Amino acid sequence: MKMWSGRFREPLDPNFDSWQRSFRFDQQLLQEEVAASNAHALALEAAGVLSREELARISAALEKIAGDAISEADAEDIHHYVELKLVQAIGDLGLKLHTGRSRNEQIATDLRLYVRSGATQIIAQAAAWAQHLVEKAGAMGDAVMPSYTHLQRAEPVLVAHWLLAYFEMLLRDVSRLEDCIKRLNYCPLGSGPIAGATLALDRMIAAKELGFTAPTANSMDATSDRDFVLEYLNALTLLALHASRFAEEITLFSTAEFGFVDLPEAFSTGSSAMPQKKNPDLTELVRAKVGRVNGAAQAVTLQLKGLPLAYNKDLQETQEPVFAATSAMHLTVYLLAKFTAALHFRTERMRAACETGFMNAMAAATYLVHKGVPFRKAHEKIGNAVRYCLDKGCELNHLALDELKQFGTEFEQDFFDTITLEATLDCHDVIGGTARHRVREALKSAESRVQELTKKYGTVDLGQKETAHAGA
């Protein structure tokens, strides 16, 4: 039975009919639909529309429907499906459930529940990735690497400092997702199709049952609002962007030219043509994934543009992007956590890369500043010394004191101690800097922040078998 055949005389065009249905994709909302239906049934019972016994029969049937695999049904959408199954199980009593509600508020509720649980799971996975970044940072100790601006060597940093930069990005991603959950956590049930339910329902009952903070405040807004979808997709876009930056750096660092990391074989592939190849497919796919996720955000932005109040069928189009982006990020972050744990850094090569390229030039200029030279002048003097070294084919620490003196009378023997690799690191002695003791402090704070997250969201089992494909 259709949900709305009464006023129609002609059947639907069959192509249009199958084309406008959402069941093909919204069947993913089965659990949410059942939970929301159950919450509505509670409110109906409190309003005297259902007896206690009827409520018990409906709840039991709903539970069974949620536990069964989706089966063949001529359903227009997931709301219709649950109703059909309910009627199959308990007869006309199943039809009573639609009293005082509309699919417009149902889909608004289901999607909020879906985004809330999708965001929560992705947060837990981001926390697992964060934990592996922090563990790796701890394991790297005082290992050094060059840092880059403009992709040109800049100054040496601790590898831990570089890893913790990604940790900071991840924490912001988590807080954006948490924020999105906070704002979406209001219950549309009781809004009716647009103007509010025509039964005096106690809206607190369903809101509480579903773990929402409160009922939504305006029925027109509640049935047409998809801001939470867009906020979520934009938060995921940033997460995917951060993942892509990390992936790009690892891809670069794994080249023979850099040689900073050994790609874990378990996460690399070979070439069918060139026998010597080990390709960074994981990081390449991660690098590209933001296209899919941001594509979803863009799609929803355009779907929402100019929509008049309140519900419009356009809103059905927002679902698939949400599903696609959720499963893409779910697996991406999960794999990044595993991959990070398996990463092996070639610390000798990273250290050797720090010994050349004048990465102590800032520290050298700072030495002159401590001798009273204004920084602009110190910069000029060290610049001249660097130019001299370039012609000579050596580094600043290879110059004799006499040679240095031609660039500034302020140079003394103690200069050489201030431009060693360790001294160069330690002269960045500010909160957030790469001085060794500062990084140790940052690491400690990162460890406790990760602990808080895992306490709140649980740990993710990285040994579980995930079967979804990379396209998911």
List residues binding ligand ARG (CB under 6 A).
22, 26, 77, 103-104, 107, 311, 313, 315-316
Least CB distance from residue 322 to ligand ARG, whole Å? 11
Catalytic residue among 71, 150, 272, 469: 150
271 carries an active-site annotation: yes
Q: Considering the complex, state which of residue 57 and residue 103 has its C-beta at the smaller distance from ligand ARG.
A: 103
Least CB distance from residue 22 to ligand ARG, whole Å? 4
Q: Considering the complex, state which of residue 26 and residue 225 has its C-beta at the smaller distance from ligand ARG.
A: 26
Q: Considering the complex, state which of residue 3 and residue 143 has its C-beta at the smaller distance from ligand ARG.
A: 3
Give alpha helix (H) positions in 97-225. Answer: 103-140, 159-184, 203-209, 219-224
Q: Considering the complex, state which of residue 312 and residue 418 has its C-beta at the smaller distance from ligand ARG.
A: 312
Q: Considering the complex, state which of residue 111 and residue 159 has its C-beta at the smaller distance from ligand ARG.
A: 111
Residue 210 to residue 375: CA distance in whole angstroms: 62
Catalytic residue among 18, 51, 175, 271: 271
Residue 434 to residue 429: CA distance in whole angstroms: 7
Least CB distance from residue 83 to ligand ARG, whole Å? 12
71 carries an active-site annotation: no
Q: 326-361: buried (b, 16+ CB within 10 Å) or exposed (e) per residue? A: bbbbbbbbbbbbbbbbebebbbeebbebbeeebbbb
Distances (CA, A) of 70 to 27, 282, 408: 8, 33, 80
Residues 6+ apart with CB under 8 A from 456: none
User: Which residue type occupies 338?
Assistant: K
Instruction: Identify whether the C-beta of residue 105 lies closer than 8 Å to the C-beta of residue 190.
Output: yes
Least CB distance from residue 319 to ligand ARG, whole Å? 6
Least CB distance from residue 273 to ligand ARG, whole Å? 47
Q: List the structure tokens of 131.
A: 């934990």
Residue 18 to residue 20: CA distance in whole angstroms: 6
Nearest to 286 by CA among 245, 327, 244, 339: 244
Catalytic residues: 150, 271
